[in-house]
């Protein structure tokens, strides 16, 4: 009985409360499918079940493939329910059924509303019907029976076709009797083993049904041809953020892929409807191989298997840029499945997990269809291919962009596979772009569903967007009946939302409409253009030219273009706004151009900000009729009816026959509006948008050129868009530049083509003379300065040039860069994309008219240009870099290079704001008053020049006349080469000498330099040996074609050209910047002349540095070698010899009052009659070689007579022969003493005796008579340089065998010295006839008198001894002033022949950096108290450029300047030299005997044998300098090398404010390191705005400071005089400032008492100082407190190297400004909240047991973030414990 009862309990009977026994097993199995011979066939059976008493079985969701591919990839064909061993089903289970439910509540099994849908088993059941799967909502429950009728009743089995559709946790409701009924619910139960389905679950948006997940829609979009597409297509099943209603039950792997793209819907009838059910061609999942989407998606980085699980969403790749058609794909999910092994991966980690989801066949669950939408922009005539062309390719020319404010037709392209409904229930809506618009379409509150349409979307009727359907077609929807306008600027967007029904809540984004990136311009007025016409209307390009303005659109192509847009389809208006010409923006004195007002001359925002700002300016609607006429331009209408297409839109009125004329040149901004009112105007000002810029080429106009006659000049024209194709024509005042269709009659009163070397050019202009203009460019004449690279920033770019560019281009110049010389992204021109071409346009500054770019067209372009700016690096201007206001954002930044190509360099540029003629125009006569000539500007094109605009007026004037100018010869012998003196005196009224800021020059035009009979010819300033008479060794003249250009002017050329330069001014002839000379010139024959009688002429020019030129009312002499003219005796004044032009030398700058301005002009006549010498055999003649021999008295100086050693000249005279060649009694010899400008024999001219040759007679004195070279009639102070000697009346003839000696004694010697020089000699008969000119054998020399050669140091730095005056300092710059007492020159040797030495005291090391030029802004070079506009000291500098000289020989304590070949420093000249010295290592007082600076001059002079050195000259003594108020202001005799003052301390007054305007006694403490002695000085320097006052106040500190505190404490002493008081305190301004001084920031305190070095003793005092008033806070004031100690003479002894620290204990490594000196605070803490100070222990330190007290200070509040130090000052007696640990 017991066994029977147990057996009965193991039989499961469906009675009330029955349940499944523990260990019940659920198993499902399916067939593994594999590809065999290209077919999917089952190869094995795979099962899954619960084991080890688990209560869950894992199964897989799947979808259905085509039947040809095997149907559902995982279709469970068997289900088993097994009881554990020993249990069995009773007979009451014979009608068992199961159904799939979502809950485990058995009480609900009878209900049918909890059933879970399943997938489709097959798409064809063999009879053309869909084969539905078991367990689904549309089938009856699945029946089960015993799987083995012959076995035990412990297993139920169902033959099934189960396809799980949803992922999730599900259950099987079980009934034993085949009925799920409420009445028998007690029988029903839920199988104890649940089903975990790996897969995705969806809400089945179109109704829950079996297989419904496959019909789910994912709406995505892409831009046409992926123009700016984003990855917006997201499949999201995450726990947080999933698409509503969607979830995933994931295994180890959870990924998404997709199918092949759906086939196009086909066939479709002519109405756009599906022809049959077979028109759809979908694709499904888990079909072998990767999807065919490589050319659709950019899968390169993302791949095509993307994780999509409970934590990560899957975002599909972006659509490729070359894709343009809408498409659909099936979304495929892999439920952690491995097809190969037919297993799923739900076990954690391991190789099994890695095997799943790695093949596309693993993605077995289809989770919907992804529809990729796109839009097309069509023009007004081509939006529906069927309707217009019979083609099904509608919108055959789609555009990527729309023109702002122009109508277009929008098509929504329907994806295949049911993307669009066939009804007309669809809508379109435009919304503003927002960051959420690209969110997935299923996102809640998507902007497409929430946002209204903006006002910028302009429909023909207001209700159109709410009611207008896109039609019933299923291949596209199109809105053509009421085309829309987008009223936005360029590069703007609106998003397009589409609804497949008429419900506004169903909108989703299908694309973006973008306005064109840029407007395109056309070159011509299409309606008035015919290549065969002679008169066509082109787009305005030149000022004053009547033309048209045309825009161009309808641009499309295979690659995106910034100009891509639909054609014009309606009216539009345009007006021109001056961009960089009219001064109309801003207010008051800050008014400027629009360009500068916006800052676009330096940087132009690349983020769209520039467009926005220019749009705003256009919307001000400033119709300036001064710019263009009319303005606005005539209305533009498209040809034909409104709403038709046209590529050209010309603003020429309704009849297309109104034209415009831009009145002024300049860049104009084009403002555009196509929202036109009924009155034909822009609807409202805010509708205007900026459409681009175009340069109207032409001159600025209004220029007045004034030139002096007889000066060859060039005309510089400023303007816009200028080029080397430009021309000038000069016409009479009565003419007009536009006459004769731009071909006016020219004036002929001036010459062009000047100067001419051949005599064929430089002729009078003719009536059709065009003068070419040249634009500066790189490469250009004589230079190849091209752009080599570019550094791009967001809003600007830096151009790197090959060479110095800032010397060529000025800030604000405008350049363009040649288009063909730019390479972008490494591509050849033919390979550039349109977007790349546009980037090249932008960099080039030159744009192509877009109607001329088609193959075969002649490219035409217009200019915009770039304004250049200099670039600074660390405060220094970069020489090779310029900035232009064009940039690119980092993400869009192209790579530009400038390679050479076609034998041309890359990076070619042209300046567009200035052109110049050659220097070729010469005025010949004065222009009549009020009848200035007109200068016309034109352009040469196609072989013809047309003149458009007057550039200005031209007037020729006669320059002022110089006071005096004459040429004096030193010999009467015609044809002799000898020194001549050009004497001139400047006019006292010529203020230009003082006021001109730029360089000046003196031009010497030799008027007649014909080879044989010229009036006066210049020769080089070479030695003239006696052999010259035999034409050997003579000075040479420049060859006829020899020249040196202005840019090559050099000091050595002055030495090569001029023997002497002299002035009466105290600082000598100004040291030239350099000299240069022209070739020989000759003007063409005058009109009507039968032959050219114009003489040849040559110019020699001396260039002077700024503020170092000639002076008014001053005498000058220039000595040069010339060839005496042919005799014209008895005329005394032979002929005009030289024209002098004193003028400005900077033609191209504003540093001249006007270009080529002549301050004054003179014509110097040759003022000595010349005589042609007769036959030498019949006349007296000096012997060649030793005919006039100067005898030396010093064996060491053989051949050189040093007059400084003996004032006696012995001359041996020998004749060339006897008879007629003998020199007779009373013959006249003239000894011409060189240097001519140094000698002045005066009335006491010495005596002379004749010493006869042996055995001959020469009795009596030689009569001496001084003569002037320069006539006293012109200069009453003229010197006597010629010693006329009449030989005795009793004298044996001098022959070749008889030589008498003349001794000349007691001559008045020059004050200046001179190196060995010959003397000129002229022999004449006693009647003055038959002159013979030669030079001496032997040389004269002389040392300068004392005071002629001088040296001084310029006071610099705080002590006067340079910026680094301390012992051992390196790089101390000391400026030396030298005045030369003798001409130092190199006669022409290439080896060492002349040198200057500056010798420093022992311990120094001397060098000169660069040319050693002193800084031009030094106080010593400023105008002094006399305010005469002349610098009180002239800034001469020595050249090192070219072949002038070098400081390279400098060594040790001597700086040496070597004069190279021909260079000279003339006597009397002053130079300043900035030396770079290393100070001695120990201090050197100024009064130290060793502290002596010296000068030495050395030269060979004209004696080539050896160098002669002048005696060393000491610098002027300090005592000598101090006697002169002017000198002591700027100069000193030596420099002090001082000691460093240690431990000084400056403390502001107690209780005083640190802010502006307060006064206080500053406390000063110091410990001297040197003995100062009595009557010394203490000097305190404050920052420049602090004021000690002219009569400063210094006094002792309070007495307690000096109290005795014990031997071990610091002892402080007052500064006292003998009477117990400080002697005086003087306030000074430092550095010294010109004009009236009101602020005295230097206190110089004279101390009568002793200041000495005493162990342990410091000195202290206080001085009253006023803080700056109204001065902006400046951190530099913390670095400008210094202190100096000087002896009783004011000579520096000691000082502070760095600023005096506020806290002397501050570490040197702490260099921030707040660790330095005290200074004003930016603000006053009194204005901040009150501060509380709490001291925790107020007991004295000793009483407190030597414990520190803690002090708490709060609240410390700053008004703004501040990086500084915090300073807390405690009262006297408190001592801070400075350990960091004691501060919190």
Transcribe 272-321 into DSSP letters: S-BSSGGG-B---SS-SS--S-TTTB--TTT-S-EE-SSS--EEPPPBPT
Distance in angstroms (rounded) separating the CA atoms of residues 475 and 412: 9
DSSP symbol at 895: -
Distance in angstroms (rounded) separating the CA atoms of residues 810 and 803: 15
Cβ atoms of 1700 and 1546 within 8 Å: the answer is yes
β-strand partners of 1384: 1465
Record the pTM.
0.80
Q: How many CA atoms within 13 Å lie on the side-chain side of 1481?
A: 0
Q: Helices H, strands E: what count in the chain? A: 13, 113
Residue 1770 to residues 263, 293, 1767, Cα–Cα distance (Å): 90, 80, 10
Strands 1158-1166 and 1188-1191: unpaired
Q: How many CA atoms within 13 Å lie on the side-chain side of 197?
A: 30
DSSP symbol at 364: -
pLDDT for residue 39: 67
Average pLDDT, 10 consecutive residues per value, the chain (1784 residues):
45 87 94 73 86 89 86 92 91 92 93 92 86 90 81 84 96 94 91 96 94 95 71 89 95 95 89 85 90 89 91 92 91 93 71 80 95 90 52 69 93 93 91 92 92 93 82 91 92 94 85 95 76 66 92 90 92 95 92 96 93 96 90 75 79 84 96 92 95 97 95 96 98 95 96 95 96 94 90 97 95 97 96 96 97 91 97 94 97 96 93 96 95 97 94 97 93 90 96 92 95 86 81 87 94 97 96 97 93 94 95 96 71 77 83 91 87 82 93 80 94 95 95 96 86 94 92 81 95 96 94 96 90 93 96 94 96 97 94 96 95 91 79 91 91 96 97 97 95 96 89 91 83 95 85 72 93 94 93 90 77 72 80 78 92 90 88 79 94 94 80 80 62 85 80 77 72 75 67
State the sign of the Cα–Cα–Cα–Cα dihedral 509, 511, 515, 518: positive
pLDDT for residue 525: 82
Cβ neighbours of residue 272 closer than 8 Å, sequence gap 6 or more:
386, 471, 472, 473, 474, 475, 476
Cβ atoms of 482 and 459 within 8 Å: the answer is yes
Distance in angstroms (rounded) separating the CA atoms of residues 1382 and 1060: 11
Name the H helices within 311-372. Answer: 351-355
| 3-class SS string, 1070-1085 | CCEEEEEECCCECCCC
Structure token pair of residue 1020: 């080089």
**DSSP E strand boundaries for 414-471:** 427-432, 457-458
Structure token pair of residue 581: 């010409």
Q: Torsion over CA of 851, 855, 858 and 861, rounded to 10 degrees?
A: 50
Structure token pair of residue 864: 């915009």
> What's the first-to-final CA gap in the chain, in angstroms?
93
Output the DSSP codes for 708-772: ETT-EE--EEEEES--TTEEEEEE-TT--TTHHHH-PPBP-SEEES-S-SSSSSSEE--TTPPEE
pLDDT for residue 620: 93
Cβ atoms of 723 and 1049 within 8 Å: the answer is no
| Residue whose token pair is 């006007």 | 1154
CB atoms within 10 A of CB 1587: 22
Structure token pair of residue 1297: 């065998």
């Amino acid at each position: 009985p017991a066994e029977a009862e147990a057996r009965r309990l193991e039989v499961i009977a469906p009675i009330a409360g029955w349940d499944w026994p523990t260990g019940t097993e659920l198993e499902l199995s399916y067939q593994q499918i594999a590809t065999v011979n290209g077919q999917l066939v089952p190869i094995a059976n795979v099962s899954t079940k619960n084991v080890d008493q688990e209560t869950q079985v894992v199964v897989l969701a799947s979808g259905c493939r085509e039947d040809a591919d095997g149907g559902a990839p995982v279709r469970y064909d068997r289900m088993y329910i097994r009881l554990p061993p020993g249990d069995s089903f009773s007979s009451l289970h014979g009608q068992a059924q199961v159904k799939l439910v979502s809950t485990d509540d058995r009480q609900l099994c009878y209900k049918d509303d909890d059933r879970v849908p399943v997938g489709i088993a097959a798409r064809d059941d063999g009879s053309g019907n869909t084969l539905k799967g078991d367990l689904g909502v549309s089938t009856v429950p699945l029946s089960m029976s015993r799987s083995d009728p012959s076995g035990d009743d412990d297993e139920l089995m169902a033959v099934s076709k189960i396809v799980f559709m949803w992922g999730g946790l599900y259950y099987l409701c079980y009934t034993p009797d085949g009925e799920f009924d409420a009445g028998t619910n007690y029988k029903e139960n839920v199988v104890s083993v649940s089903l975990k389905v790996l897969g995705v679950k969806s809400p089945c948006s179109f109704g829950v049904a079996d297989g419904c997940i496959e019909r789910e829609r994912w709406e995505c979009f892409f831009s046409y041809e992926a123009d700016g597409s984003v990855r917006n297509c997201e499949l999201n099943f995450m726990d947080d953020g999933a698409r509503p209603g969607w979830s995933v039950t994931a295994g180890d792997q959870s990924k998404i892929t997709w199918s092949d793209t759906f086939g196009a819907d086909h066939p479709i009838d002519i109405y756009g409807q599906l022809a049959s059910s077979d028109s759809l061609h979908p694709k499904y999942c888990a079909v072998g191989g990767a999807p065919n989407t490589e050319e659709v998606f950019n899968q390169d980085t993302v791949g095509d298997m993307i994780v999509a699980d409970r934590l990560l969403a899957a975002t599909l790749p972006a659509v490729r840029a070359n894709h343009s058609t809408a498409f659909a794909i099936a979304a495929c999910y892999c439920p952690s499945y491995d097809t190969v092994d037919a297993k799923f991966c739900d076990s954690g980690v391991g190789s099994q997990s890695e095997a799943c989801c790695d093949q596309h066949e693993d993605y077995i669950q289809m989770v919907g269809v992804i529809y990729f939408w796109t839009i097309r922009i069509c023009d007004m005539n081509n939006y529906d291919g069927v309707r217009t062309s019979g083609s099904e390719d509608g919108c055959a020319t789609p555009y990527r962009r729309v023109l702002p404010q122009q109508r277009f037709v929008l098509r929504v392209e329907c994806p295949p596979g049911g993307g669009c409904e066939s009804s007309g229930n669809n809508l379109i809506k435009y919304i503003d772009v927002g960051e959420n618009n690209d969110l997935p379409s299923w996102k809640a509150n998507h902007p497409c569903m929430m946002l209204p349409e903006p006002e910028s979307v302009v429909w023909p009727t207001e209700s159109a967007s709410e009611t207008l359907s896109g039609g019933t077609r299923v291949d596209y929807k199109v809105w053509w009946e009421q085309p829309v306008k987008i009223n936005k600027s360029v590069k703007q967007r609106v998003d397009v939302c589409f609804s497949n029904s008429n419900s506004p809540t169903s909108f989703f984004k299908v694309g973006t409409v973008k306005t064109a990136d840029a407007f395109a311009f056309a070159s011509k007025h299409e309606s008035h253009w015919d290549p065969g016409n002679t008169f066509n209307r082109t787009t305005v390009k030149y000022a004053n030219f009547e033309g048209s303005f045309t825009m161009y659109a309808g641009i499309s192509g295979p690659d995106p273009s910034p100009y891509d847009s639909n054609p014009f389809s309606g009216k539009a208006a345009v007006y021109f706004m001056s961009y960089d010409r009219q001064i109309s923006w801003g207010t008051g004195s800050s008014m400027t151009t629009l360009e500068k007002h916006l800052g676009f001359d330096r940087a132009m925002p690349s983020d769209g900000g520039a467009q926005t700002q220019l749009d705003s300016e256009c919307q001000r609607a400033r119709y300036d009729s001064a710019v263009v006429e009319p303005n606005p331009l005539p209305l533009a209408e498209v040809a034909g009816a409104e709403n038709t297409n046209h590529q050209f839109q010309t603003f020429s009125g309704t009849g297309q026959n109104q034209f415009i004329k831009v009145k002024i040149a300049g860049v104009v901004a084009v403002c555009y509006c196509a929202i036109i009112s009924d009155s034909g105007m822009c609807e409202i000002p805010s509708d205007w948008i900026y459409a681009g810029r175009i340069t109207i080429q032409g001159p600025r106009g209004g220029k007045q050129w004034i030139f002096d006659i007889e000066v060859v000049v060039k005309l510089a024209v400023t303007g816009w868009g200028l080029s080397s194709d430009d021309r000038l024509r000069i016409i009479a005042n009565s003419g007009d530049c536009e006459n004769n269709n731009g071909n006016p009659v020219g004036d002929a009163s001036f010459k062009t083509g000047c100067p001419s070397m051949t005599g064929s050019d430089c002729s009078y202009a003719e009536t059709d003379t065009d003068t070419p203009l040249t634009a500066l460019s790189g490469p250009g004449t004589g230079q190849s300065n091209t752009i080599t690279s570019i550094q791009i920033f967001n809003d600007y770019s830096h151009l790197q040039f090959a060479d110095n560019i800032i010397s060529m281009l000025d800030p604000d110049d405008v350049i363009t860069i040649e288009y063909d010389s730019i390479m972008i992204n490494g591509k050849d021109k033919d390979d550039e994309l349109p977007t790349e071409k546009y980037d090249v346009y932008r960099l080039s500054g030159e744009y192509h008219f877009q109607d001329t770019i088609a193959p075969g067209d002649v490219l035409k372009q217009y200019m915009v240009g770039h304004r250049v700016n200099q670039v600074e690096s660390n405060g220094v201007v970069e020489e090779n870099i310029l900035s232009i206001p064009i940039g690119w954002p980092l993400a869009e930044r192209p790579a530009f290079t400038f390679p050479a190509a076609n034998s041309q360099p890359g990076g070619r540029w042209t300046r567009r704001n200035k052109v110049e003629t050659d220097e070729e125009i010469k005025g010949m006569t004065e222009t009549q008053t009020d009848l200035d000539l007109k200068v016309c500007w034109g352009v040469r094109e196609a072989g013809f020049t047309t003149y458009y605009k007057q550039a200005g007026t031209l007037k020729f004037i006669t320059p002022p006349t110089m006071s005096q100018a004459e040429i004096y010869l030193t010999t009467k012998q015609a044809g002799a080469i000898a020194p001549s003196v050009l004497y001139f005196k400047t006019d006292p009224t010529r203020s230009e000498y003082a006021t001109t800021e730029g360089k000046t020059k003196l031009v010497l035009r030799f008027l007649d330099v014909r080879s044989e009979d010229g009036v006066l010819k210049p020769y080089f300033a070479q030695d003239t040996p006696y052999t010259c008479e035999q034409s050997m060794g003579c000075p040479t003249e420049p060859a006829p074609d020899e020249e040196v250009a202005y840019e090559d002017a050099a000091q050595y050329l002055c030495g090569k050209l001029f023997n002497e330069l002299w002035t009466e001014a105290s600082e000598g002839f100004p040291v030239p910047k350099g000299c240069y000379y022209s070739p020989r010139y000759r003007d063409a024959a005058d009109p009507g002349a039968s032959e050219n009688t114009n003489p040849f002429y040559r110019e020699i020019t001396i260039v002077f540095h700024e503020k170092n030129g000639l002076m008014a009312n001053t005498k000058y002499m220039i000595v040069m070698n010339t060839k005496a003219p042919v005799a014209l005796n008895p005329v005394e004044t032979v002929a005009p010899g030289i024209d002098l032009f004193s003028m400005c030398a900077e033609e191209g700058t504003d540093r001249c009052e006007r270009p080529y301005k002549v301050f004054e002009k003179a014509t110097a006549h040759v003022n000595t009659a010349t005589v042609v010498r007769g036959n030498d055999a019949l006349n007296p003649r000096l012997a060649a070689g030793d005919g006039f021999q100067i005898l030396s008295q010093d064996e060491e100086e053989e051949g050189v007579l040093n007059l400084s050693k003996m004032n006696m000249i012995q001359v041996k005279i020998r004749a060339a022969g006897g008879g007629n060649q003998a020199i007779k009694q009373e013959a006249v010899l003239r000894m011409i003493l060189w240097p001519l400008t140094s000698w002045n024999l005066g009335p006491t001219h010495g005596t002379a005796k004749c010493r006869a040759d042996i055995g001959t007679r020469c009795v009596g004195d030689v009569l001496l008579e001084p003569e002037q070279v320069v006539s006293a009639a012109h200069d009453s102070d003229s010197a006597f340089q010629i010693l006329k000697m009449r030989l005795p009346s009793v004298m044996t003839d001098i022959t070749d065998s008889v030589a008498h000696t003349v001794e000349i004694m007691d001559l008045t010697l020059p004050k200046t010295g001179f190196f060995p020089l010959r003397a000129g000699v002229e022999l004449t008969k006693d009647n003055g006839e038959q002159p013979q000119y030669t030079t001496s054998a032997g040389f004269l020399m002389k040392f300068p008198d004392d005071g002629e050669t001088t040296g001084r140091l310029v006071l610099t730095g705080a002590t006067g001894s340079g910026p680094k005056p301390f012992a051992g300092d390196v790089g101390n710059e000391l400026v030396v002033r030298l005045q030369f007492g003798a001409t130092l020159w190199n006669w022409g040797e290439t080896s060492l022949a002349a040198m200057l030495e500056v010798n420093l005291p022992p311990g120094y090391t001397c060098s000169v950096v660069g040319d050693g030029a002193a800084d031009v802004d030094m106080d010593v070079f400023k105008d002094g108290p006399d305010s005469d506009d002349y610098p009180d000291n002239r800034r001469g500098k020595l050249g090192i450029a070219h072949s002038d000289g070098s400081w390279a020989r400098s060594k040790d304590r001597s700086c040496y300047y070597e004069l190279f070949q021909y260079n000279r420093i003339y006597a009397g000249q002053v130079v300043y030299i900035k030396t770079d010295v290393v100070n001695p290592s120990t201090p050197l007082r100024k009064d130290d005997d060793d502290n002596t600076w010296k000068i030495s001059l050395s030269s060979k002079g004209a004696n080539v044998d050896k160098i002669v050195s002048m005696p060393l000259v000491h610098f002027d003594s300090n005592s000598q300098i101090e006697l002169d108020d002017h000198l002591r202001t700027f100069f000193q005799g030596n420099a002090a090398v001082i000691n460093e003052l240690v431990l000084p301390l400056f403390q502001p007054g107690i209780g005083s404010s640190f802010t502006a305007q307060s006064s206080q006694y500053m406390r000063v403490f110091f410990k001297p390191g040197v003995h100062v002695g009595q009557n010394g000085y203490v000097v305190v320097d404050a920052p420049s705005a602090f004021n000690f006052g002219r009569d400063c106040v210094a006094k002792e500190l309070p007495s307690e400071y000096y109290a005795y505190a014990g031997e071990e404490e610091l002892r402080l002493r007052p500064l006292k005089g003998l009477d117990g008081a400080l002697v005086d305190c003087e306030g000074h301004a430092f550095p010294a400032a010109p004009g009236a001084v009101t602020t005295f920031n230097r206190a110089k305190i004279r101390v009568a008492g002793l200041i000495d070095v005493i162990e342990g003793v410091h000195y202290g005092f206080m001085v009253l100082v006023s803080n700056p008033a109204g001065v902006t806070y400046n951190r530099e004031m913390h670095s400008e407190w210094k202190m100096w100690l000087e002896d009783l003479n004011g000579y520096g002894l000691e000082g502070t190297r760095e600023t005096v620290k506020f806290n002397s204990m501050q570490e040197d490594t702490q260099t921030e400004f707040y660790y330095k000196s005290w200074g004003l605070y930016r603000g006053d803490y009194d204005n901040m909240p009150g501060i509380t100070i709490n001291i925790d222990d107020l007991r004295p330190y000793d009483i407190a047991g030597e414990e520190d007290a803690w002090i708490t200070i709060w609240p410390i509040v700053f008004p703004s973030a501040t990086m500084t130090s915090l300073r807390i000052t405690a009262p006297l007696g408190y001592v801070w414990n400075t350990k960091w640990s004691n501060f919190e």
